[in-house]
Amino acid sequence: MSFSNDMDDEYEKLIRRMNPPRVVIDNDSCKNATVIRVDSANEHGILLEVVQVLTDLNLIITKAYISSDGCWFMDVFNVTDQDGNKVTDEGVLDYIQKSLGPESCFISSVRSVGVTPSMDHTAIELTGSDRPGLLSEVSAVLTHLKCNVVSAEVWTHNTRAAAVMHVTDEETGSAISDPERLSRIKELLCNVLKGSNKYRGAKTVVSHGVTHTDRRLHQMMFADRDYERSDEDVLDEKQRPSVSVVNWSDKDYSVVTIRSKDRPKLLFDTVCTLTDMKYVVFHANIDAEGPECYQEYFIRHVDGSSLKSDAERQRVMQCLEAAIERRVSEGLKLELCTTDRVGLLSDVTRIFRENSLTVTRAEVTTKGGKAMNTFYVGDASGYPVDSKTIDSIRQAIGQTILKVKGNPEELKSGSQESPTRFLFGGLFKSRSFVNFGLVRSYS
């Protein structure tokens, strides 16, 4: 098996050397966006790699056209910076060229983009049932075990929670390597995650491997089957993203159409899910110039076949809906910036818990001795967050270091059911669709 993998890897390198990727960055042809064209030998996962590079640079993808029939991958992205302007930073443009251009075929830099080496920290992956105060309890356990959280990302969706946390030893400031101590950390954290829930499992993984945090969170929640709707889920149908899948029998494609409210990293989330579910995107069209994003994918299995059954189609729809919803910023956004110290995350989340707030999503980073954390919080009872509660929290934490940003963002796609439109229809001469049916069924 190892020999076979080595041969595959060498063959891939040879193909790339013979057909080096070509990247063209154009700031002249489009009035309001930078146009990035990428041509490369085709391979499974390359679309995700390209999107990952652009997304990790916090670029906004307003339009995209992808085509990868045959052995060649060609795509065009219209991108802007966070302020909606063209990308002119020479450092960013040079990074894109090096990450996606000819140099990447020799050093495989694309696959390492966004992946942080873990020699200086220990990675902890957590999955379990969500409940108010869970992040506070997890943080308290880590503080008790003399672990300092240097970065973390926490997602919650459909009563499930997942987190990737990078911790260091409180005394040495380096990764934790003692097997007995790591085993103790896993045991205590797993007990916290299980809580009183006897029906859904919990999982704790401690490793020194490298991972792309966002992609790993998608994989963890997918493995935890967060896409399965419970009977108690009464979310308004209009608030969900609109996802449909039909078969195009003449071309052996399955066509996925998505309409949802636009937000940062939306394209990454959908492409990541399709890739991890072992589907290949042959053509795609993305339009996100307005408040709503339209995505269209022509996909097949890695074995070249289209979707085979209605059950499979339903599963793809459910999984894409979940992928879109996981990163939705529900709740009030709180930003904390202060000098980092051991136990900071535990103290802050304890104050949230004591004031009956629950964390729906969190991003924790540490740079240059500064903690820069973002929390999306809601009332544990489901009511709007009271301004007096926020005032009380800011007084306890510090008026200058905790800032409130905007109002709760609700997922309101506003999409109406309408006939499927295929923006790539002009590429083909004939159309013959087999529709599996458009009625959603959630287990």
Q: Considering the entire predicted model, what is its pTM?
A: 0.84
Order of strands, sheet of 72-80, starting from the edge strand that comes earlier in the sequence: 22-26, 34-41, 72-80, 60-67, 279-287, 292-301, 253-261, 242-248, 433-434
Could you tell me if 252 and 278 lie in one domain?
yes
Altogether, the residues listed in the chain come to a count of: 443
Could you tell me if 271 and 317 lie in one domain?
yes
Residue 82 within any structural domain of the chain: yes
Strands (E), 209-252: 242-248
- pLDDT category at 417 given cuts 50, 70, 90 is very low
> What is the rounded distance in angstroms from the CA atom of residue 404 to the CA atom of residue 333?
6
The answer to which of 28-37, 202-211, 262-271, 375-384 has the lowest mean pLDDT is 202-211
> What is the rounded distance in angstroms from the CA atom of residue 217 to the CA atom of residue 211?
10
Could you tell me if 198 and 344 lie in one domain?
no
What CATH number did the domain enclosing 368 receive?
A: 3.30.70.260
Mean pLDDT estimate for the chain: 83
- pLDDT category at 266 given cuts 50, 70, 90 is very high
The answer to which of 225-239, 260-274, 317-331, 375-389 has the lowest mean pLDDT is 225-239
Residue 432 within any structural domain of the chain: no
CB-CB contact of 212 with 52 (8 Å):
yes
Query: Which of 320, 300, 317, 319 has the alpha carbon at shortest distance from 244?
Result: 317
Could you tell me if 65 and 145 lie in one domain?
no
Phi-psi group of 70: left, alpha or beta (phi > 0 → left; psi -120 to 50 → alpha; rest → beta): left
Q: Which helix (H) or strand (E) holds 436?
A: none
What CATH number did the domain enclosing 252 receive?
A: 3.40.1020
Could you tell me if 15 and 164 lie in one domain?
no
Could you tell me if 207 and 347 lie in one domain?
no
Could you tell me if 189 and 107 lie in one domain?
no
Query: What per-residue confidence (pLDDT) applies to 229?
Result: 79
Residue 32 within any structural domain of the chain: yes
Could you tell me if 46 and 78 lie in one domain?
yes
Order of strands, sheet of 147-157, starting from the edge strand that comes earlier in the sequence: 203-207, 122-129, 160-169, 147-157, 357-367, 370-379, 332-339, 402-405
CB-CB contact of 285 with 65 (8 Å):
yes
Please list, in sequence order, all residues whose beta carbon lies within 8 angstroms of the beta carbon of residue 39, skipping any fewer than 6 positions away: 21, 22, 72, 73, 74
Residue 386 within any structural domain of the chain: yes
**Domain, as residue range, for 311:** 10-112+239-326
Could you tell me if 248 and 205 lie in one domain?
no
Query: Which of 277, 283, 310, 313 has the alpha carbon at shortest distance from 297?
Result: 283
